[in-house]
């Protein structure tokens, strides 16, 4: 049997394990270790020996430490009430427009995303803050929950973003450049969602009534309350990109700043700190178990040579690069039907990345291609968080909105998905959208 | 039977309680303590990094060996998170295919999943411990502080042992639920 | 006949000088000489998992059949071999690599228990590269923040009055351009990959007849059980491509990288500051404490540091370094 065949068999077994609800990290680990054992001639010694270092190598990785730090930053922001300050601020400015409260929720999601690396946390936090308001102003259930579920994805599309960190580490790409590249596409995503709300409420004004107009003095006051958020964001993103601090230090500064803000202005006390610590622990463990499993799986796949052989095959089979890219994006959307975004990145990047890097897209330089593909992959795995049947954000928001049937929420998300597809197409044909800032502020 | 057991068993990142017996509640308490300790270590690391960065920028002073301290401490802290995550159904699973399956069947599958979590943790605890012992024998140290590297690696073992216990307990717990739900 | 596939692991990307100009030619050579009986399956960039520091353990445990790494990434384990990383020891990779091969086989084989050394080598020696600072004397160096290459390299920089900063090599260009560090202690060989010649405008070098301020040791090692499992003919092929001659060849290849990399900086009209003989002696004197500290570490492990250091120096002399 060729290595590639074994690689495909490994994937087959992995799918079976996933179907029967084995935790994704454990399933990846089992298949990786099994494949490795088989490929090294059925000897236990090599696999046992490589396991000696697996956990320490992964868990002491300096770059990966940014993940718990970004999660801690988000926890502090949540427990310090920064989410409601953001929401109050944005709705003070645009709440009086038709559909304005839903747009404000999306804007606040983007703001929260700027200091939080996770989409689930953004959806859950902003859901708790904005849903009661949306219901108070008699927004339709599908618009309210749809906007929040989609808005939650801004948590990963606006940097900092955990999937981008993972992508950077898998591809030895610069975290700072990837974060910088995600800024404009993230803002386009936010605007796209707001436009969707505008269109929906123009068609059906009853779905999203206007809120009260807020006097300017009040607007300025609410703006002052959230400026620290902007400062934290700038410190983190500019600090990393400018090379003033490394990502881990920047994440630590961001977490410290959010923690101090939460204690001084948000009234966070010991209880909040403890809840933040435990919340970080849970979300981090969830991610790192998948990372441990992916490590073993990638080793197994590397030994099988399947990724390299597949990349060579794609390069030689004469398909147009654009077609290959579209196929890759479709595979992501398909995988997103059943899989978590992080697991998707970990599973597919080792395979797709060599393929993409071996193809020519409009003569783009390798360094640019690598960043552009990272942002494209981020956008397309993010869709999996909201599209049926298992969009995680949809479940989180739907659980918060007890009176809205799940079907309504999924229906509410569809228009936002449309804007996602438009944005992905834009980014596919105009890579400059992601590369503009990276080129302009070349360090 | 307490009605908490009627809660959805599918992946729910924000579940914090489950109707455990005394053993399960004890395990949950220990695991929560481990997770909290690890989380607070990260809070402390944040403060250390802050001192280090500010010191380096403003006073040409850096905490010596801050990078390797962060690496060693985070390895220990991260290893202490897994048991708690598993006990509160925090693992990422694919629940698409089992969405409409009867709850007792799902519980049965989850019992199997937890068993694998337990076995994985035993394997990792064993190998990590073995790795620590060979590092001790070789006398490897960290580069700047010259701290022995085997110690932080050995400190990861308790976290994985606790994870194994959590996996095996959840296996039994889920089996009980599966049988109870069948009746 | 059966083809034996050797799993070769290292930590650099495929674009690296080592991968392209040392490993691939070596693999081609053994394939040719064995009539296709030996084949390399290369795993670059730590594809077999783990960290660069763990590579020697991986080959010992049979995770990989052959590895290439810097053993001193594992601090505290290769104290005796580390002698060649001491300040102002080695002039050229070609000579230093041969001396290292002899020295290790004479004095430090206990540090390589469980692995079979195929060749040992050094790089072309670190020089100092600065964003814009001009460094001609010890006084110029005082208080400057410099990226340090190794553990000993870090101590050397501190002894010279600079502030050593640890960071991975790929982070160096960005850090220099943003003045996070003023410069880096790095061999010419690595500068090409990071286009360091474009960011650094001045380079402080020692004269060719002097030893460089820092170096790193590398080993290319094989799993002994894998070696023993080979039929006699294939063993012979491996033997013919390892040892002193192979070490010399690799060293020479690394020296040749310097010429290419340095030419880029010359063509860009960068400034080169070469230490005068008098200044060089001051630098050597300033770093004597690093040697002393190393001898103490050897003594703590029951070795005779003084004798080892003298032996290393004698071997370097033997090869006219
Ligand atoms: Na974010
Ligand atoms: Na999904």
For residue B1, the model assigns a pLDDT of 30
C139 — pLDDT class (breaks 50, 70, 90)? very high
Taking 50 as the threshold, does the pLDDT of residue A424 lie above it?
A: yes
Distance from CA of C76 to the nearest CA of B (A): 5
Q: Which ligand is nearest to the CA of A149?
A: 2
Identify whether the C-beta of residue A124 lies closer than 8 Å to the C-beta of residue A142: no
Q: What pLDDT, in 10s, does the model give residues C249-262?
A: 999 999 999 988 99
Under an 8 A CB cutoff, do B67 and C151 touch? no
For residue B60, the model assigns a pLDDT of 66
Q: Which residues of A touch B70 (CB under 8 A)?
A: 62, 65, 248
Can you give chain C as a three-state secondary structure string?
A: CCCEEEEEECCCCCCCHHHHHHHHHHHHHHHHHCCCCEEEEEECCCCCCCCHHHHHHHHHCCCCCEEEECHHHCECCCCCHHHHHCCCCCCCHHHHHHHHHHHHHHHCHHHHCCCEEEEEEECCCEEEEECCCCCCCHHHHCCCEEEECCHHHHHHHHHCCCEEEECCHHHHHHHHHCCCCCEEEEEHHHHHHHCHHHHCCEEEECCCCCCCCECCEEEEEECHHHHHCCCHHHHHHHHHCCCHHHHHHHHHHHHHHHHHHHHHHHHCCCEEEECCHHHHHHHHHHCHHHHHHHHHHHHHCCCCHHHHHHHHHHHHHHCCC
- Round the average pLDDT of chain C to a whole number and report it: 92
pLDDT > 70: what percent of chain A?
99
For residue B6, the model assigns a pLDDT of 30
Q: Model ipTM?
A: 0.84
Taking 50 as the threshold, does the pLDDT of residue C136 lie above it?
A: yes
For residue B31, the model assigns a pLDDT of 95
For residue B33, the model assigns a pLDDT of 95
For residue B5, the model assigns a pLDDT of 29
First to last CA, chain A: 49
Rounded to an integer, the average pLDDT of C16-34 is: 95
For residue B14, the model assigns a pLDDT of 35
Give me the residue from C51, C63, C174 closest to A46, CB to CB. Answer: C63
Cis bond before residue A389 (omega within 30° of 0): yes
For residue C241, the model assigns a pLDDT of 97
Q: How far apart are CA B52 and CA B49, in angstroms?
A: 5
Q: How far apart are CA B27 and CA A18, in angstroms?
A: 27
What 8-state DSSP symbol labels residue B148?
A: B
Q: What pLDDT, in 10s, does the model give residues C36-64?
A: 999 999 998 888 888 888 899 999 988 89
For residue B183, the model assigns a pLDDT of 64
Q: How far apart are CA A330 and CA A362, in angstroms?
A: 21
Q: Select the more confidently predicted residue: B114 or A210.
A: B114
Q: How far apart are CA A197 and CA A143, in angstroms?
A: 8
For residue C1, the model assigns a pLDDT of 60
Helix, strand or coil, per DSSP, at residue C8: strand
For residue A390, the model assigns a pLDDT of 67
For residue B2, the model assigns a pLDDT of 32
Q: Select the more confidently predicted residue: C166 or B175.
A: B175
Mean pLDDT of successive 10-residue stretches along chain B, which has 183 residues: 32 49 89 95 92 78 79 95 92 80 88 97 97 90 86 96 97 88 67
Rounded to an integer, the average pLDDT of A56-65 is: 89
0.80 surpassed by pTM: yes
Mutation for testing the B interface, residue in C82, C166, C298 having most B CBs under 10 Å:
C166
Q: Which ligand is nearest to the CA of B95?
A: 2
Q: Select the more confidently predicted residue: A306 or A430.
A: A430
Q: Nearest chain C residue to B148 by CA: give it.
A: C76
* Residue B67 near chain A (CB below 8 Å): yes
For residue B10, the model assigns a pLDDT of 34
Q: Which of residues 27-86 of A touch B (CB under 8 A)?
A: 29-30, 48, 51-56, 59-62, 65, 68-69, 72
Q: How far apart are CA A279 and CA B30, in angstroms?
A: 16
Q: What pLDDT, in 10s, does the model give residues A170-203?
A: 888 888 899 999 999 999 999 999 999 999 999 9
For residue C103, the model assigns a pLDDT of 97
Residue burial A165-197, b: 16+ Cβ < 10 Å; e: rest: bbbbbbbebbbbbbbbbbbbbbebbbebbbebb
């Amino acid at each position: 049997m060729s290595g590639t065949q074994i690689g495909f068999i490994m994937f087959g077994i992995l799918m079976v394990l996933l179907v029967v609800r084995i935790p994704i990290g454990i399933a990846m680990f089992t298949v990786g270790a099994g494949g490795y054992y088989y490929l090294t001639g059925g000897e236990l010694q090599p696999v046992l020996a490589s396991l000696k270092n697996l956990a320490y190598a992964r868990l002491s990785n300096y770059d990966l430490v940014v993940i718990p730090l970004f999660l801690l930053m988000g926890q502090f922001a949540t427990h310090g009430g920064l989410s409601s300050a953001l929401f109050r601020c944005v709705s003070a400015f645009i709440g009086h427009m038709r559909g304005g409260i839903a747009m404000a929720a999306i804007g606040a999601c983007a703001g929260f995303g700027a200091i939080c690396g996770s989409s689930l946390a953004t959806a859950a936090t902003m859901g708790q803050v904005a849903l009661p308001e949306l219901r108070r102003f008699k927004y339709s259930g599908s618009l309210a929950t749809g906007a929040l579920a989609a808005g939650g994805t801004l948590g990963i599309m606006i940097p900092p973003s955990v999937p981008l960190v993972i992508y950077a580490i898998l591809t030895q790409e610069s975290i700072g450049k990837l974060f910088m590249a995600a800024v404009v596409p993230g803002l386009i995503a936010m605007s796209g969602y707001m436009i969707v709300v505008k269109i929906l409420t123009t068609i059906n004004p009853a779905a999203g009534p206007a809120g009260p107009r807020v006097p300017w003095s009040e607007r300025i006051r609410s703006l002052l309350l959230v400026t620290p958020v902007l400062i934290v964001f700038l410190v983190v993103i500019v600090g990393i990109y400018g090379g003033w601090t490394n990502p881990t230090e920047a994440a630590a500064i961001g977490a410290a700043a959010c923690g101090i803000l939460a204690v001084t202005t948000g009234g966070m006390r010991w209880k909040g700190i403890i809840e933040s610590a435990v919340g970080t622990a849970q979300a981090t463990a969830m991610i790192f178990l998948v990372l441990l499993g992916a490590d073993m799986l990638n080793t197994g796949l590397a030994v099988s040579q399947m990724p390299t052989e597949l990349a060579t095959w794609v390069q030689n089979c004469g398909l147009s690069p654009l077609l290959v890219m579209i196929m890759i994006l479709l595979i992501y959307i398909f995988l997103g039907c059943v899989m978590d975004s992080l697991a998707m990145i970990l599973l597919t990047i080792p395979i797709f990345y060599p393929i993409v890097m071996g193809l020519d897209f409009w003569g783009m330089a390798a360094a640019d291609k690598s960043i552009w593909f990272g942002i494209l992959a981020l956008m397309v795995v993010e869709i999996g968080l909201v599209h049926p049947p298992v969009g995680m954000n949809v479940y989180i928001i739907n659980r918060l909105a007890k009176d809205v049937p799940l079907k309504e929420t999924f229906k509410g998300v569809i228009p936002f998905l449309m804007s996602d597809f438009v944005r992905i197409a834009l980014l596919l044909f105009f890579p400059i959208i992601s590369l503009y800032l990276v080129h302009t502020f070349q360090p | 039977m307490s009605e908490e057991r009627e809660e959805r068993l599918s992946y729910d990142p924000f579940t914090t309680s489950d109707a455990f017996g005394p053993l399960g509640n004890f395990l949950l308490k220990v695991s929560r303590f481990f997770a909290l300790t690890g989380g607070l270590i990260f809070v402390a690391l944040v403060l250390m990094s802050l001192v280090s960065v500010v010191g380096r920028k403003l006073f040409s002073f850096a905490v010596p060996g801050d990078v390797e301290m962060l690496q060693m401490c985070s390895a220990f802290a991260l290893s202490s998170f897994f048991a708690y995550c598993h006990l509160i159904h925090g693992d990422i699973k694919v629940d698409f295919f089992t969405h409409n399956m009867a709850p007792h069947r799902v519980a049965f599958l989850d019992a199997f999943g937890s068993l694998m979590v337990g076995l994985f943790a035993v394997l990792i605890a064993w190998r990590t411990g073995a790795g620590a012992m060979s590092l001790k024998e070789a006398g490897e140290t960290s580069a700047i502080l010259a701290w022995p590297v085997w110690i932080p690696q050995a400190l990861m073992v308790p976290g994985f042992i606790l994870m194994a216990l959590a996996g095996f307990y959840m296996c039994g717990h889920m089996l009980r639920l599966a049988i109870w739900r069948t009746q | 006949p059966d083809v034996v596939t050797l799993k070769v692991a290292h930590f650099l990307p495929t674009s690296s000088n080592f991968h392209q100009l040392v490993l691939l030619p070596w693999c081609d050579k053994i394939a040719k000489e064995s009539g296709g009986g030996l084949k390399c399956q290369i795993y670059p960039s730590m594809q077999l998992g783990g960290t660069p520091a763990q590579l020697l353990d991986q080959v010992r445990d049979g995770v990989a059949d052959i590895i290439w790494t810097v053993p001193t990434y594992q601090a505290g384990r290769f104290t005796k071999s580390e002698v060649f990383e001491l300040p102002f020891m080695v002039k050229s990779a070609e000579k230093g690599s041969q001396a290292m091969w002899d020295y290790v086989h004479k004095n430090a084989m206990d540090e390589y228990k469980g692995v079979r050394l195929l060749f040992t080598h050094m790089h072309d020696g670190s020089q100092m590269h600065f964003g814009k600072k001009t460094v001609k004397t010890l006084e110029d160096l005082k208080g400057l923040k410099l990226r340090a290459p190794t553990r000993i390299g870090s101590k050397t920089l501190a002894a010279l009055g600079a502030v050593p900063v640890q960071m991975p090599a790929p982070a160096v260009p960005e850090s220099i351009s943003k003045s996070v560090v003023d410069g880096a202690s790095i061999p010419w060989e690595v500068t090409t990959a990071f286009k360091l010649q474009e960011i650094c405008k001045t380079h402080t070098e020692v004269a060719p007849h002097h030893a460089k301020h820092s170096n790193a040791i590398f080993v290319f090692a094989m799993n002994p059980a894998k070696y023993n499992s080979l039929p006699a003919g294939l063993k012979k092929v491996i033997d013919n491509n390892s040892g002193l001659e192979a070490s010399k060849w690799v060293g020479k290849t690394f020296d040749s990288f310097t010429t290419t990399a340095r030419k880029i900086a010359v063509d860009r009209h960068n400034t080169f500051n070469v230490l005068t003989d008098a200044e060089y002696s001051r630098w050597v004197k300033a770093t004597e404490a690093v040697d002393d500290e190393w001898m103490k570490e050897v003594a703590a492990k029951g070795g005779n540091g003084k004798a080892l250091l003298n032996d290393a120096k004698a071997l370097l002399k033997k090869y006219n370094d």
